Amino acid sequence: MFDLRSDTVTKPSKEILESALDAELGDDEYIEDPTVNSLEDECANLLGFEKGLFVSSGLMGNQISLLIHNDPGTEVITPHDSHIKNYEHGAAAFLSRVQFRDAEHVDGELDLDYVEKLILKSKVHKPVIKTVSIENTHLASGGSIVTFESIKSLSNLVRQHELMLHVDGARIWHAILDGNNNMNYGSYCDSLTFCFSKALGAPIGSILLGSEQFIKEAREFRKKLGGGMRQVGVIASMARIALQNREIILEDHAKAKKVYEFLNSSLNNEKIERIVYKGTNMIFLNIKNEEDPNKLLDILYNESIKAGLIGEKSIRLVFHKDILNTDIEEICNKLVHSSSKF
Ligand SMILES: Cc1ncc(COP(=O)(O)O)c(C=O)c1O
């Protein structure tokens, strides 16, 4: 079975698992686990922030950021199809009790004039806007890269209006390693979270980055949410190896590109309106409105391909380290064969 539902399905390599055996450990609730402390420092240094906090998941990092940046009843501007709004089990309503204000965007890059209009309109009848949250890479657009230039311009606007800028960088390394090499997020953003447990191949964990004061508060919220753990170095050591090997994700981009080029020239089914590839590790097959994408998902499953559904009509194929280069030809043939039966 080829599992293309997500890059979260990647399993840790032997090298990653073995690193846990030799990890130096301590009680992280007392900030005494040297492996965790050094991972937090390393991530903060890499992306230009003062401090880091190891958290159990991307969701926890995103939601702690909202808890700190917002008060109940205030608003967060974000792309209408962002993960933080749509795919976090209503956590923002449950925890920080904020509302989301949809922003127009192209491939995850917000329209700044529109954002400014939203901010100015927030006076009188509309709630106060406290935070802007973007996603890089932007999942719902097909894993598109939000350019660093656009982040700088957004940061400028956000700072003019004294708001906070959060980056859901679950897949930030896909954006950084593929061309957009500026890593100095800390100079332009107030908080950022990224995940070790997706394409990088660690089994668990994410990092939350921000100022010293932000991380102090984040540590308290993590505790309140039950995310304070003890000898976390066993997990952090695995995350560290995964991070060191981060260049592997460029191979995923190459695999996705190869499949995209093949599908583009060979897949011919009018029920599939568009094949979307945004240069990272995902391909979307956009299914025509009147057609049922679940039918194609079932056909693919019977051909030993697990694929995911994103939104109502997009079938998502994600390439990751557990899909080998030698699998690609077979996957291409299976995709074309399945679509001919759809
Ligand atoms: C863009 C994005 N943000 C946040 C998350 C949440 O990460 P986690 O599953 O670790 O909570 C995901 C998970 O897939 C994601 O794709």
**Residue 57, in any domain of the structure:** yes
Distance between Cα 269 and ligand 1 center (Å): 32
* Residues constituting the chain: 342
Owning domain of residue 318: 248-341
User: How many structural domains compose the chain?
Assistant: 2
Ligand 1 nearest atom to the CA of residue 62, by list position: 4
* DSSP 8-state symbol, 138: B
The residue out of 244, 272, 303 marking a domain boundary is: 244
Q: How far is CA 273 from the centre of its chain?
A: 26
- Pocket-forming residues, ligand 1, beta carbon under 6 Å: 8, 57-59, 62, 83, 135, 139, 168, 170, 195, 197, 206
Ligand 1 nearest atom to the CA of residue 60, by list position: 11
- The residue-averaged pLDDT of 3-16 equals 97
| CA-to-CA separations, 246 to 51, 172, 235, 240, 243, in angstroms, rounded | 21, 11, 17, 10, 5
159-171: per-residue pLDDT in tens?
A: 999 999 999 999 9
What CA–CA distance (Å, rounded) separates 263 from 122? 46
The pick from 83, 88, 194 for probing ligand 1's pocket by mutation, whose C-beta has the most ligand atoms within 8 angstroms, reads 83
* Amino acid 169: pLDDT: 98
Distance between Cα 58 and ligand 1 center (Å): 5
189-218: per-residue pLDDT in tens?
A: 999 999 999 999 999 999 999 999 999 999
Residue 113: both structure tokens together? 């004039």
* Contact (CB, 8 A) for 178 and 316: no
User: Residue 272: what residue type?
Assistant: I
The pick from 87, 89, 166 for probing ligand 1's pocket by mutation, whose C-beta has the most ligand atoms within 8 angstroms, reads 87
User: Nearest CA to 130 among 106, 105, 87, 96?
Assistant: 96
The residue out of 244, 267, 296 marking a domain boundary is: 244
283-327: per-residue pLDDT in tens?
A: 999 999 999 999 999 999 999 999 999 989 999 999 999 999 999
**Residue 231, in any domain of the structure:** yes
159 in the same domain as 219: yes
- The residue-averaged pLDDT of 263-286 equals 96
Distance between Cα 92 and ligand 1 center (Å): 14
Whether the pLDDT of residue 21 is over 70: the answer is yes
What CA–CA distance (Å, rounded) separates 140 from 144? 8
* Contact (CB, 8 A) for 103 and 128: no
DSSP per-residue string spanning 222-234? HHHTT---SSTHH
**Residue 3, in any domain of the structure:** no
User: Residue 47: what residue type?
Assistant: L
Ligand 1 nearest atom to the CA of residue 56, by list position: 10
**Residue 5, in any domain of the structure:** no
The residue out of 194, 224, 244 marking a domain boundary is: 244
